[in-house]
Each structure stands twice: as C-alpha cells, then as structure tokens.
Structure 1
Amino acid sequence: MTDTDARDVSPVSLTAASRPDQPPVTPELEDLYRGFEKELLVPLWTEIGDLMPRQPKSKAQPHLWEWQTLVELAARSGNLVPVGRGGERRAIALANPGLGGRPYATPTLWAAIQYLMPGEDAPEHRHTQNAFRFVVEGEGVWTVVEGDPVPMRRGDFLPQPGMNWHAHHNAASAPMAWIDGLDIPFQYDIEAQFFDFGRDHLPDEERTVPDRSRSQRLWGHPGLTPVARSGRTAATPLLCYRWEDTDAALADQLRLEREGHPSTVEHGHAVVRYTNPTTGEDVLPTIRVQFHRIAAGAETAPRRETGSSVYQVFDGSGRVRVGDFSWSVQRGDLFVVPSWQPFSVASDASASDSDSGALDLFQFSDAPIFTKLNLYRSHVEEIAR
C-alpha cells in the first residue's frame, strides 16, 4: 500500500501549515505527517487551538423558536402522525442551527414540544435519560409515573427521573401541548443510554384523574419530610411542582425586596430553583431547573456560565440578548443560551400580557454535570444603574 492509499483510508488527515505557531514545512515534516496518518496519530501542536481554547467556544448558536409557530406545526402533526408503540411520542425536537441538524437544542440538552390529541395515550416506557415536562398553557393530560397518575396544568413542572416507567393520556376534549426536556445528547455522546418498552395499555385504576398524585400527597409539603421514606435519593421523588407554589415564592421575593429586605439575586429579579426534597440539591442529577421573575422595567446584568440553558417565556414580554443576537419575546417562546455566551433580559411586561405583571422565564440547564466535574464557572458583568 502506498502512502497515498494509506491516507485515503485513514480518518486522520494532517496538513503542514506555514504559520508562526507551526514547525517549518519541509519534505521531512510532510513524511512525518503521513506516518502519523497511517498509524492514526494526531500531534497536539496542530490541534491545541481547537481542543484547548482560552475560553469555551460552543458549537451551538443562540436561537429563538416562536411558540405560536411550534403549536401550529404540532397541531398539523396531530392530524397526520399517530401516537403508538415504536414512535412512542408525538414530540418535535428543537434543532440548534449550529449542531449539524441533530435534534439537539444544545450539545447536552434536548427540548421538544409534545402534542397529545383528545383521548390519546402515549404508551408506557422507561429510559436512563432524565426528563421533565413543563406546561405553559392548558390542562387535561395526566402523566402516569410508576403507576401514579399526575395531573398536568399550566405552570406545573413535572420531573421524570431516569428509569421510571411513564405514560401519558389526554382525558380532555381538546388537544394539549407542553415542552419536554431531557439529557439525551449528553447520554448519547457518552454512550450510556438504555430504553425499555412497558405495558401497551394502562389499567383502569391508573387512568383515573385525581386532583393530587400520591407523590404530591407524600412529598409535596414544604419543609416536611415523611419519616417513613427518609433517606437520600439521586433524583426527586416529588413528581409535580405546582405553579401556585412557584408563583407565591417569586411574588414574596419581590415583595420582600420592595420592603427593603435582601431576597432577590439582583434588583427586580427573583429566582427559585426546583430541588430534590431528600437532599436540597438539583431536582435531577444532570438537569438544573429554575424559574425567573423579572419585574416590569427591570433589566438583568449580562451573565456568562459554563454549560448551556434553554429558556421558555411563561408569561409577559421582554427583550433578550444572547451574545450578538437579540429578540423580542412573548409567552411560550423558547430560546437557547450556549456556554459562556453573555445573556441579559429586559422586562417589558405589564398587566395586559402577564398575570404577575412581570416577565416570567422557565429555565433548564446542564449545570449539575459541570458542578459535579468542578467545571462550572460564572461571571456577571457590572452595568450602570
């Protein structure tokens, strides 16, 4: 086999470059590189700028998806695409324009709009991927997790730890849409994923529509731990975090701020984090979930974080800036903040477009992964007030 043939079959391709940071281009260097290619070797001096940049350079791009367009396309799919075993879910993933057409919102996070028609069932399955559902509008769908029917309503956050059996059914007379978030890209790239099919049909006792699930009755009492079930769990045992509790917590932070007490992360910016009641840590091992309320007229300081986030506008309107991109946003819109891109938001909300009179943002990120690996960093820029 000639050197040319070896290079043709090798996935390694090296080019000697005449640059200040590279060795002089000589016939001997070219021959050395052909030897590297043949033996599947890559010298660091040709790759260091890409492999070890001075700061994160995400392949993902900031991008905005408008909720109204997503719902319209999901409704069209509801009339064309059945839900059943094999396809499993009528879920339509956000594909970041910088990630080569993969169904990834960011390099580690998967986000999708899921749509269920009246009377439909999404079949039971389980997977190692950690997941959640968040409802920006509507009600009438129940998710059944390990046999526990959990109602889904506007503003509810419903975590789904990995390897829990789960199915959905729409008991209402109208379709319903919500967003799903999972760590699919992360688990896919580290080759750790497993998936199992469950039962094809749920028994009648699991198709009931209780106002509160068993998990909420046991775990949904703030600051109170059931002694019979005490002990740490890797992910939250509480399967639904109700909007009324989230709303009250955010409203109280802003009230305390107005009364002169320290309660917000910055002026006019209240934040709560959903946590595992058995540990006080992140609600899922690989996904951090937070909710932001930005008072009308307030603007957040630009912030950079390692890792990536997906945001959904729950209520209100405002102006968002991510890196060199900026958008006006309204209820339901979703956008991506890639790693180490500066992010800021200004609230234009009022009583006419927001129940709270503020801009409400739902956020999920891969921060727990970075924190566990001691790779999490953040920086907040100072802005003139």
Structure 2
Amino acid sequence: MTQSSIAPDTAATSPVRLQAVAAEGQPDVTPALEELYRGFEKELLVPLWTEIGDLMPAHPRSRAVPHLWRWNKLRELAARAGDLVPVGRGGERRAIALANPSLGGRPFATPTLWAAIQYLMPGEDAPEHRHTQHAFRFVVEGEGVWTVVGRDPVAMRRGDFLPQAGWNWHAHHNATAEPMAWIDGLDIPFQYVTESQFFEFGRDDISDAERITPSRSRSERLWGHPGLRPVSAGTPGPGSPLLAYRWEHTDRALADQLALEAEGFDGTVEHGHAAVRFSDPATGADVLPTLRAEMHRVASGTETAPVRETGSSVYQVFDGSGTVTVGDTSWSVTRGDLFAVPSWQPFSVRSEAGTSDSDSGALDLFRFSDAPVFEALRLDRTQVEGNPR
C-alpha cells in the first residue's frame, strides 16, 4: 500500500518574485528566461544578477534618514507619561524610544542603535532586571536618581555618563521630590537583528541598603582614579567596571584641549574642536563592546569639516547652540536636542554658542555610535572632506 500527497504550488506561495527586465548587463527577455525565473521562485532561489545593485552598492545606503528630535517636546511628553503610565512590572521602564521615520515604525533611532528618554517620578523605583543588551545612561539635566547596578548605588547628575555592560542586574530609584529625565542608549536593534538577545526579571524591590545615596559608588572608589588599576582586580568582564564618568572630569579634559591649542600645542581633533572618548580603565578599549561614547566641544564660531563614517551615530546637544548638517539636511539645535546620523552621511556642525546658552561658552555634543562593531569586523571607514583616512 502506498500513499501520495499533492504538494502545494510553491511558486504561487513563494515570497521570491523575479521580473525579467530589458536592461544593459541583463539577459535577453525570452520565454525560456521567464520559465527559468519561475523555477527559481518555486525553489526559493534568487540570482545575483538581479540583485547586485542593491546587495553590493558602490557605497553604504542606510535605511535610516537624518532626523532631529526636540528635547522640549520629548520632555513634555515624558512628563505627561509620568502622570499616566506606571513604571512597575509589565512596562518595566517609563522609557520612550526615538523612532527613525524611515524604519517602518520600529523603535530604533538607526538600524543598530536605540535611544530613549526615560522618566522617573519622585519616590519611584524602576524594578530590577537584566538583559544582554549593552546600555548606558546620559544626563543632560537634573539629578536625584540613583541607578543600582549589581547592588551598587550610583548617583546620576547633569553631564554624567553611566555605562552598564549587558547581563548585569540593575534598577533605579528616585530619592528626591522632583521628577528626573535622562537618555538611555542601547544596542537593542543590533541584538534584535542578530537574534542574540536574552532578558530576565530580577527582584521587584531593592533593599534598604541599596537606597542609600552615597556621593561615590563602590565602582568609583575602586576604579575612578586616573591611570591607576587596582591590583586586586581579576580578569575584567565585557564592558567598563567603572559605572560613572563624572562631568567635572569630562569638562576639564575638553577645556584643557582647547587651552593647549590656544598655547600652540597639539591636542584637538581639528581647530576649535576638542573631543574625548569614554574608555574602559581596565583595558583602554571602548566602554562597551558594541557602543562607543564620546563628548565633543566645538568653540564658538568654529565649523567642523564634513565627515563620513560607516556605521551610525546619535548625538545629543549637552550645552550651547549651533547648526548641524547631516547629508542635505540642516537644523538649528539647542540644549537637549537629539539627532541621528546614518551610515556614510556627511556630518558637520557650526557652533553658535555663547555665555548665555552654554556654561563653557562652546557647543558641547554627546555622541554614541556602533563603531566598535564595525572596527571588530574591519568594516570601519572614515572620509574627511573627500580624503579617506
């Protein structure tokens, strides 16, 4: 006894759709070619000669577009969410992600980077959890929230950069009578597309011992001494063991670079443009395996040279004002504004800051990018004013 079944018409249900086109470099359109293409569709095959222009373009063509998000609008909407949206289990965090307009409504600022404004009301706790996504917090205004990473309470204040490598338990608590907002950056889109992410709930409540508000966290007391590594430290894990990079140190480093330039010495990226990169004190590498973070200071009246880079970036204006140009798009920006720079789009900025809108009198920009991924894969490339480097 034998059994037989009729297979569905694969060609009719195939997601592959091929069209013979009369064009230079393409085969002649004939009934035989059409029949060949139907066979490809049935067997879920795609010939390279129909796709090479899209799969192998002459230069990167990002799916993302340059876009600007105004801080005053984000802050207003986050405050309204604070009145309406709980922060406990289920939602986990009152975080509102930036959605690049060309990425189909996904909560991604670029194809590899997540950026969000997070908002915590007075006395609130964001419950403990952990995830494989690498993350950081950057504070453009306010203070009063402590992030608790591995049961180590870490103060969050204006200008502070707080990295947190993946798979570390973390929670937040607001110890003051005022709400606080900051930005989160994560590699969620990268881990999403590579299908590598894990997530786990932790405790619903942090202990009284973790509700203390020390001026320095344990990580800072151990790792926060310039050029000094504790002998007791073993093999470091992925990501920086230092959980807070304080603004006073970043500010001083940028100011010193511009001062050295004024004295005729090297130290700046280009004339009037100082920059520092946050690094892992254990290894000297980037603070996180998939994310690079930097602070840039552009002196008033300075215009930076247009730069193209593979990979994408998100910037936030920390202080001052200026004009930002990404590709063919330009915006006037002020404190808190965020903008996306897609892969291989030329980027430049002109500082229009002054003492009335900037503590430093310059335009200060916080930047994070996916550069470590591209460098690890040897796919990094930079071009300044048409000259590759």
Listed as ranges, the gaps of 5+ residues in structure 1 are: none
Give the whole-Å Cα distance in 1 for the aligned partners of 2:279 and 2:183: 19
| Residue 332 of structure 1: aligned partner | 336
Cα shift at 1:2: 11
Amino-acid identity (%): 73
| Residue 206 of structure 2: aligned partner | 202
| Residue 196 of structure 2: aligned partner | 192
| Residue 353 of structure 2: aligned partner | 349
What does 1:171-186 correspond to in 2, within 5 Å? 171-186=175-190
The one of 294, 306, 310 equivalent to 1:306 is 310
Deviation sequence 1:230-272 (CA, Å, 0-9, x none): 5443210000000000000000000000000001010000000
1:32 matches 2:39? no
Deviation sequence 1:327-368 (CA, Å, 0-9, x none): 000000000000000000000000000000000000000000
| Residue 50 of structure 2: aligned partner | 46
Range with bigger deviation, 2-11 or 226-235: 2-11
The one of 68, 75, 83 equivalent to 2:79 is 75
1:148 matches 2:186? no
| Residue 100 of structure 2: aligned partner | 96
**Contact 2:10 2:43 survives alignment (8 Å):** no
3-state SS of paired residue (1:314)? strand
| Residue 11 of structure 2: aligned partner | 7
- The one-letter code matched in structure 2 to 1:217 is R
- The one-letter code matched in structure 1 to 2:258 is L
| Residue 219 of structure 1: aligned partner | 223
Cα shift at 1:58: 0.2
- The one-letter code matched in structure 2 to 1:78 is G
**Contact 2:323 2:349 survives alignment (8 Å):** yes
Alignment TM-score, normalising by the size of structure 2: 0.97
Give the whole-Å Cα distance in 1 for the aligned partners of 2:124 and 2:205: 12
Give the whole-Å Cα distance in 2 for the aligned partners of 1:222 and 1:164: 24
Cα shift at 1:380: 0.5
The one of 270, 279, 288 equivalent to 2:292 is 288
Question: Which structure 1 residue ranges, 4+ long, deviate > 4 Å from structure 2?
Answer: 1-5
| Residue 235 of structure 1: aligned partner | 239
- The one-letter code matched in structure 2 to 1:265 is V
Cα shift at 1:213: 0.3
Cα shift at 1:29: 0.6
- The one-letter code matched in structure 1 to 2:306 is P
Give the whole-Å Cα distance in 2 for the aligned partners of 1:301 and 1:10: 48
**Contact 2:74 2:117 survives alignment (8 Å):** yes
**Contact 1:134 1:155 survives alignment (8 Å):** yes
| Residue 68 of structure 2: aligned partner | 64
| Residue 262 of structure 1: aligned partner | 266
| Residue 22 of structure 1: aligned partner | 26
Cα shift at 1:19: 1.0
| Residue 162 of structure 1: aligned partner | 166
Give the whole-Å Cα distance in 2 for the aligned partners of 1:171 and 1:344: 40
Cα shift at 1:5: 4.3
Cα shift at 1:83: 0.5
3-state SS of paired residue (1:97)? coil
How many residue pairs end up in the alignment? 383
**Contact 1:67 1:332 survives alignment (8 Å):** yes
**Contact 1:141 1:170 survives alignment (8 Å):** yes
- The one-letter code matched in structure 1 to 2:138 is F
Give the whole-Å Cα distance in 1 for the aligned partners of 2:198 and 2:8: 41
| Residue 249 of structure 2: aligned partner | 245
Give the whole-Å Cα distance in 2 for the aligned partners of 1:128 and 1:3: 42
